[in-house]
């Protein structure tokens, strides 16, 4: 696949409002920076091939290529992506208690991986008020400080780029699906850097239907709630249809309909609900706010999960059939909607030389999903 | 002792035009001098300030041109000969007072010296001061060479005293800044006593009150003064004619154009065919004198720079005299022979004359012109206008630019006049989106900041230098605070009027004469006005950027950010490096992804040089001032700074 540069990144992504602000292009160089949830290019860059374009999850992605690279098979459109076991889980007693979004599976896994030396640093997402703040953590005890979901898009991967600059080479990342896609692109060394070695030791992906635009959410919420008093934000599984905002003064509920207006358009082009390019993916479990759904995709993911369970960091159980069915239905729905939209916009498998696609995938998989 | 106060009559010196004017003023016994710095006028007050103590002259750099003229007027009212100097657009600033002063008249000789800048060599306008003389009805003199600059300056005081009216002595860049031989006259022995007499009959010009009212009475008097000037000018030795009795073409000119015209006539060898009437008194024109010369021929060319001031005035007279002198054909601005924009030079005049007389002559043959152009392109390095190495403005605009880009709401900067005007160019990251007159950036920002009700939501910044702050920035700030405008004013405080040569201003503890004076604290002033004030060092890029982002997010009121760092050329800093800079060539990324030469492609301090062969950046140690800023912009950490240890005595 041909690699382009920053000008095409501006053209394909930033100018089309497709940027989700994942941070993959931040700190690679002096030009791209993130501020208050928005990615800005400070000065023009004249290079025709750049890592910024190559790593961005919203520039052309060849799903077959990536799938082959990480899972040894072409992309088949499975609603949950390539995967091994799907279970339910929560943090084990060995990890201790804390404030988690759900079962604390993510925090327990990251803390365990740091403890055991599977990873030498963890890229997590902290917050300042409601602003998500990328954080590089090396002390397992600091993992808890970054627990809980920040429902706005976060430039988390800027901390990954900084970690690489600082020389870490077994980095663990907790990533949303788009961030996970960027990590996968980066790990496949698209710009063919000579002495490239994969610096990522573990990717724990989060499930995601959408994330909010920070500036829009900030303006919306500041009018209603004292942002400094917010302790946690939660979106309980359907059919609740609300966003719960916990503050030091109590809980407030906002109808999801109002919140959905703050979702950037780019999320509606996203085909991935379960972070398909991670080692382990984690989401909530309907009906059980204290538990997670967990999907294991790679061998190293499986090893860590097994060991964490053995050592009491993680408690696993089988997933109820109806939960799994509903998960697959929801994940497939997201794919279908996004692909239909992208296809309508002429962004899938374009064959003209000079026109870049948004996604490339084999026509069979495409047909399976859209059918 | 300065040569300017050499008291040997007949002594000969090579003087800059501005110095000649100063010598003339000294010979006239000037006692009060005030001005505001501005190229090409600055050397006048500067030279006077250097001899002020010895010659017992009060000299000051005033906050602005209007106040300078007022200070000088006080001298005249109190019986002291006085002078005020400024660049062309300074006259606009002073013009409100000038109008009223022309109405009230003056007492001891008072001269205003505006120095115009045709071609805008160091201005952002080609403003004309000559029209002000006509507009406010005062006499206008224009020296045509360096000796005349001195002699005319001296005479201007006498004329002013005779008329009891302020006299304008107008210079231009090529007169002020070029040099020629000047023979000195005597310096007077001064023994003056200052007193403002105001107890006499109210209308008495020497003992009454100084005012332009009652207007009909004073205005009538003013015109009588002008009539008197007209008469005096009829026999003035500064109006000269050179040429045959019946020339084919009569050139009428003044000021530096006299030199161009004389040279053009001589190049073309037309001494016997073309006459040159050089006028030193260009407003009001002496009609009898003009009648005499206009009668010599039917073809008249007027050679002057920028607007057709002389041309219009001559044409009016010629129209009135037509029944006696006949109908004339005029060449000049209106027929396009002489351009209305930019400076003139001998070549332009040569071409104009040759065309008019149908002579086949090109001042510069095409072949030669092409060749010269080629050599110039190949031989000289392309030099764009830029800030000096180590200039604090580069760092300030870096942070301003980055803050606005990060903010992403299409914010912009309104600027005004100072070195920082360059920020309209890439050297200031093209941050300035408006620049007009002194202090106007803040006034414009004050206006933009009130447009919220119409949906305006772009962040607004203004920039203003420390000297400009006192000049007119402060009144714009008062306006903005009072009207609850919403923007951030950035005061680029480099501790001096850097652009024109570090003249002192009210923020400093020293005045033009070198005396210690109370300084005015910009920070305290802004705070007292009710603005939120922050002070940062622009060399701390990240802190400055963060502060700007915070300030532009503030949706209420006026914020002031003072970015304080001494100018790289200031006498205090010059030659003293804070850091020794080196580049680690192993680390330098150069044109690769990850940098793409941000230092030499974007930041572009002249101290950084791109080594094309090695594909790494180098430090030019000769011009690097060791400010250390570039170390913080290098993404790879290739630019290293190490503190220069203080020498141990
Ligand atoms: C924007 C967003 C949308 C989501 N949407 C869904 C959904 O539709 N369905 C579903 O089942 N689950 C969704 N999740 C995942 C869910 O909210 C929990 O994060 C997940 O179940 C893990 O729970 P936990 O208790 O193990 O997490 P914790 O142990 O509390 O750890 C949470 C981890 O998430 C990371 N994190 C927080 N915010 C972000 C962010 N903005 N970007 C990247 N990393 C972040 C933190 O670094 C932390 O490590 C979403 C999460 C996010 C951030
Ligand atoms: S890499 Fe991420 S932050 Fe950068 S342009 Fe792409 S989506 Fe936006
Ligand atoms: S090509 Fe490289 S240097 Fe240029 S903007 Fe992209 S990441 Fe930065
Ligand atoms: S900014 Fe640093 S890495 Fe880039 S070219 Fe300059 S010295 Fe080299
Ligand atoms: S230290 Fe760097 S920025 Fe400062 S003058 Fe030297 S080269 Fe220029």
Nearest CA to ligand 5 atom 2: B630
Cα B426 off chain centre by:
24
Predicted local distance difference test score (pLDDT) of residue A353:
66
Quote ipTM for the complex. 0.93
Contacts of A219 (CB under 8 A, 6+ apart): none
Mean pLDDT of chain A: 95
Q: Please check the confidence at residue A289 and state whether its pLDDT lies above 50.
A: yes
Predicted local distance difference test score (pLDDT) of residue B370:
79
Do the Cβ atoms of A280 and A292 come closer than 8 Å? no
Query: How big is chain A, counted in residues?
Result: 371
Query: Model confidence at B318, in pLDDT bands (50, 70, 90)?
Result: very high
Tell me the angle at which helices A177-187 and A63-71 cross, rounded to the nearest 10 degrees.
70
Phi, psi (deg, nearest 5) at residue A335? -60, -50
Predicted local distance difference test score (pLDDT) of residue B380:
65
Do the Cβ atoms of B17 and B173 come closer than 8 Å? no
For residue A92 and ligand 2, the question of a CB distance below 6 A is answered with no
Instruction: Assign B86 to helix, strand or coil.
Output: strand
Mean pLDDT of the region B111-120: 97
Query: Model confidence at B649, in pLDDT bands (50, 70, 90)?
Result: very low
Residue B398, burial from CB neighbour count under 10 angstroms (0-12, 13-18, 19+): buried
Query: Model confidence at A354, in pLDDT bands (50, 70, 90)?
Result: low
Predicted local distance difference test score (pLDDT) of residue A118:
97
Do the Cβ atoms of B234 and B319 come closer than 8 Å? no
Instruction: Assign A129 to helix, strand or coil.
Output: coil
Query: Model confidence at B648, in pLDDT bands (50, 70, 90)?
Result: very low
Nearest residue of chain B to residue A32 (CA atoms): B406
Q: Please check the confidence at residue B367 and state whether its pLDDT lies above 90.
A: no
Counting residues of chain A whose pLDDT is more than 90, the rounded percentage is 89
Domains of chain B: 3-234 (3.40.50.970), 240-357 (3.40.50.920), 392-564 (3.40.50.970), 576-647 (3.30.70.20)
Predicted local distance difference test score (pLDDT) of residue B381:
62
Place of tokens 């503890």: B509
Q: Which ligand is nearest to the CA of B614?
A: 4
A218 CB neighbour count, 10 Å cutoff: 19
Sheet of B274-278, strands arranged across: B240-242, B274-278, B249-253, B299-303, B329-331
Which of A15, A42, A54, A195 best tests the B interface by mutation, with the highest count of B CBs <10 A?
Answer: A42
Query: Model confidence at B647, in pLDDT bands (50, 70, 90)?
Result: very low
CB contact under 8 A, B401 and A28: no
Question: What are the CA-CA distances from residue A94 to residues A309, A310, B381 (Å)?
Answer: 10, 10, 71
Q: Closest by alpha carbon to B181, among B3, B426, B429?
A: B3
User: pLDDT for A61-95, tens place per residue?
Assistant: 999 999 999 999 999 999 999 999 999 999 999 98
Q: Please check the confidence at residue A171 and state whether its pLDDT lies above 80.
A: yes
Start-to-end C-alpha separation, chain A: 28
B312 interface with A at CB cutoff 8 Å: no
Q: Identify the DSSP state of B599.
A: I
For residue A34 and ligand 1, the question of a CB distance below 6 A is answered with no
Tell me the angle at which helices B346-357 and B257-268 cross, rounded to the nearest 10 degrees.
50
CB contact under 8 A, B596 and A42: no
Mean pLDDT of the region B553-557: 94
Cα B372 off chain centre by:
31
B323 CB neighbour count, 10 Å cutoff: 8
Mean pLDDT of chain B: 95
User: pLDDT for A128-145, tens place per residue?
Assistant: 999 999 999 999 999 999
Mean pLDDT of the region B70-86: 98
Q: How far apart are CA A199 and CA B469, in angstroms?
A: 53
Place of tokens 């300056």: B153
Nearest CA to ligand 4 atom 2: B634
Predicted local distance difference test score (pLDDT) of residue B499:
63
Q: Please check the confidence at residue B505 and state whether its pLDDT lies above 80.
A: yes
Q: How far apart are CA B492 and CA B498, in angstroms?
A: 11
Predicted local distance difference test score (pLDDT) of residue B572:
76
Instruction: Assign B330 to helix, strand or coil.
Output: strand
Contacts of A343 (CB under 8 A, 6+ apart): A370
Instruction: Assign B554 to helix, strand or coil.
Output: coil
CB contact under 8 A, A29 and B401: no
CB contact under 8 A, A51 and B594: yes
For residue B607 and ligand 5, the question of a CB distance below 6 A is answered with yes
Residues of chain A with CATH 3.10.450: 215-261
B405 interface with A at CB cutoff 8 Å: yes
Neighboring chain B residues of A46 at a CB cutoff of 8 Å: 596, 601
B394 interface with A at CB cutoff 8 Å: no
User: pLDDT for B205-226, tens place per residue?
Assistant: 999 999 999 999 999 999 999 9
Query: How big is chain B, counted in residues?
Result: 649
Total CB pairs under 8 A between chain A and B: 49
Q: Please check the confidence at residue B558 and state whether its pLDDT lies above 90.
A: yes
Neighboring chain B residues of A218 at a CB cutoff of 8 Å: none
Q: Which ligand is nearest to the CA of B565?
A: 5
Q: How far apart are CA B648 and CA A30, in angstroms?
A: 39
User: pLDDT for B612-631, tens place per residue?
Assistant: 999 999 999 999 999 999 99
Q: How far apart are CA B165 and CA B228, in angstroms?
A: 11
A31 interface with B at CB cutoff 8 Å: yes
Q: Which of B401, B406, B596 sits opposite A47 (nearest CB)?
A: B596
Do the Cβ atoms of B18 and B475 come closer than 8 Å? no
B107: left (phi over 0), alpha (psi -120 to 50) or beta: alpha
A215-261 CATH choice from 2.30.38, 3.10.450, 3.40.720, 3.40.1800: 3.10.450
Q: How far apart are CA B566 and CA B556, in angstroms?
A: 31
Distance from CA of A37 to the nearest CA of B (A): 10
Q: Please check the confidence at residue A259 and state whether its pLDDT lies above 80.
A: yes
């Amino acid at each position: 696949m041909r690699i382009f540069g920053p000008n095409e990144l501006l053209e394909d992504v930033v100018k089309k409002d497709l940027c989700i602000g994942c941070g993959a292009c931040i700190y690679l160089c002096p030009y791209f920076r993130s501020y208050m949830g928005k990615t800005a290019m400070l000065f023009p860059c004249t290079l025709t091939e750049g890592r910024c374009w190559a790593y961005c999850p919203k520039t052309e992605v060849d799903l077959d290529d990536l799938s082959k690279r990480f899972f040894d098979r072409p992309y088949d459109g499975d609603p949950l992506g390539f995967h091994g076991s799907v279970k339910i889980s929560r943090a084990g007693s060995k990890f201790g208690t804390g404030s988690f979004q759900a079962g604390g599976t993510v925090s327990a896994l990251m803390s365990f991986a740091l403890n055991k030396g599977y990873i030498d640093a963890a890229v997590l997402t902290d917050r300042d008020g409601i602003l998500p703040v990328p954080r590089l953590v090396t002390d397992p005890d600091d993992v808890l400080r970054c627990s809980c979901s920040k429902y706005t898009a976060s430039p988390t991967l800027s901390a990954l780029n900084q970690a690489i600059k600082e020389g870490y080479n077994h980095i663990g990342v907790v990533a949303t699906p788009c961030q996970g896609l960027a990590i996968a692109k980066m790990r496949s060394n698209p710009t063919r850097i000579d002495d490239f070695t994969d610096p990522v030791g573990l990717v724990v992906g989060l499930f995601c239907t959408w994330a909010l635009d920070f500036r829009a959410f900030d303006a919306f919420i500041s009018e209603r709630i004292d942002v400094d008093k917010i302790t946690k934000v939660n979106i309980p599984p359907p059919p609740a249809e609300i966003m719960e905002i916990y503050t030091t003064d109590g809980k407030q509920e906002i109808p999801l309909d109002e919140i959905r207006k703050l979702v950037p358009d780019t999320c509606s082009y996203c085909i991935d609900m379960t972070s398909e390019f991670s080692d382990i993916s984690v989401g909530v479990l309907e009906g059980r706010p204290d538990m997670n759904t967990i999907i294991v995709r790679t061998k190293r993911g499986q090893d860590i999960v097994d060991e964490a369970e053995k050592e009491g960091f993680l408690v696993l159980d089988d997933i109820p059939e109806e939960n799994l069915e509903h998960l697959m239905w929801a994940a497939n729905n997201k794919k279908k909607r996004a692909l239909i939209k992208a296809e309508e916009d002429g962004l899938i498998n374009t064959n003209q030389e000079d026109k870049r696609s948004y996604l490339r995938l084999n026509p069979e998989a495409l047909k399976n999903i859209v059918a | 002792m300065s040569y300017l106060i050499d008291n040997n009559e007949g002594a000969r010196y090579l003087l800059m035009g501005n110095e000649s004017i100063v010598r003339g003023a000294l010979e006239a016994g000037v006692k009060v001098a005030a001005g505001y710095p501005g190229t090409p006028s600055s050397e006048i007050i500067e030279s006077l300030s250097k001899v002020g103590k010895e010659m017992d002259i009060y000299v000051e750099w005033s906050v602005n041109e209007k106040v300078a003229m007022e200070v000088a007027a006080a001298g005249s009212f109190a019986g002291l000969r006085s002078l005020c100097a400024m660049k062309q657009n300074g006259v606009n600033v002073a013009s409100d007072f000038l109008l009223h002063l022309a109405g009230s008249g003056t007492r001891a000789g008072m001269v205003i010296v505006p120095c115009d800048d045709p071609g805008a060599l160091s201005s952002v306008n080609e403003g004309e001061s000559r029209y002000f003389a006509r507009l406010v009805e005062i006499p206008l003199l224009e020296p045509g060479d360096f000796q005349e600059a001195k002699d005319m300056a001296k005479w201007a005081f006498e004329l002013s005293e005779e008329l009891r009216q302020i006299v304008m002595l107008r210079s231009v860049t090529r007169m002020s800044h070029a040099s020629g031989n000047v023979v000195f006259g005597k310096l007077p022995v001064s023994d003056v006593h200052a007193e403002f007499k105001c107890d006499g009959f109210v209308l008495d010009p020497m003992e009454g009150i100084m005012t332009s009212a009652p207007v009909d009475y004073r205005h009538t008097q003013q015109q009588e003064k002008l009539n008197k000037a007209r008469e005096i000018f009829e026999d003035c030795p500064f109006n000269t004619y050179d040429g045959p009795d019946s020339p084919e073409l009569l050139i009428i000119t003044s000021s530096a154009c006299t030199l161009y015209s004389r040279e053009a006539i001589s190049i073309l060898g037309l001494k016997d065919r073309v006459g040159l009437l050089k006028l030193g008194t260009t407003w009001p024109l002496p009609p009898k004198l003009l009648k005499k010369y206009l009668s010599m021929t039917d073809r008249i060319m007027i050679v002057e720079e920028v607007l057709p001031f002389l041309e219009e005035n001559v044409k009016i007279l010629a129209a009135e005299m037509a029944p006696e002198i006949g109908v004339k054909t005029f060449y000049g601005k209106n027929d396009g022979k002489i351009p209305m924009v930019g400076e003139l030079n001998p070549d332009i005049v040569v071409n104009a004359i040759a065309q008019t007389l149908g002579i086949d002559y090109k001042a510069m043959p095409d072949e030669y012109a092409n060749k010269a152009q080629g050599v110039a392109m190949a031989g000289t390095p392309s030099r764009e206008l830029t800030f000096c190495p180590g200039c604090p403005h580069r760092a300030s605009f870096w942070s301003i630019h980055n803050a606005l880009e990060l903010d992403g709401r299409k914010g912009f900067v309104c600027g005004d006049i100072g070195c920082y005007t360059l920020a309209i160019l890439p050297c200031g990251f093209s941050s300035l989106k408006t620049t007009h007159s002194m202090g106007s950036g803040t006034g414009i920002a004050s206006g933009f900041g009130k447009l919220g009700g119409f949906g305006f939501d772009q962040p607004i910044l203004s920039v203003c230098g420390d000297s400009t702050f006192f000049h007119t920035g402060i009144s714009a700030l008062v306006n903005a605070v009072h009207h609850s405008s919403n923007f951030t004013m950035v005061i680029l405080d480099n501790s001096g009027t850097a652009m024109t040569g570090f003249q002192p201003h009210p923020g400093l503890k020293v005045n033009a004469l070198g005396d210690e004076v109370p300084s005015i604290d910009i920070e305290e002033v802004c705070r007292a006005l009710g603005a939120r004030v922050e002070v940062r060092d622009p060399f701390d890029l990240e802190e400055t950027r963060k502060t700007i982002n915070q300030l532009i997010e503030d949706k209420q009121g006026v914020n002031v950010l003072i970015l304080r760092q001494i100018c790289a050329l200031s006498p205090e800093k010059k030659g003293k490096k804070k850091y020794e800079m080196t580049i680690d060539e192993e680390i330098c990324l150069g044109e690769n992804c990850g940098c793409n030469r941000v230092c030499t492609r974007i930041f572009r301090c002249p101290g950084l040089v791109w080594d094309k062969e090695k594909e790494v950046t180098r430090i030019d140690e000769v011009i690097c001032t060791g400010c250390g800023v570039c170390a913080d912009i290098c993404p790879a950490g290739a630019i290293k700074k190490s503190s220069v240890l203080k020498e141990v005595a």
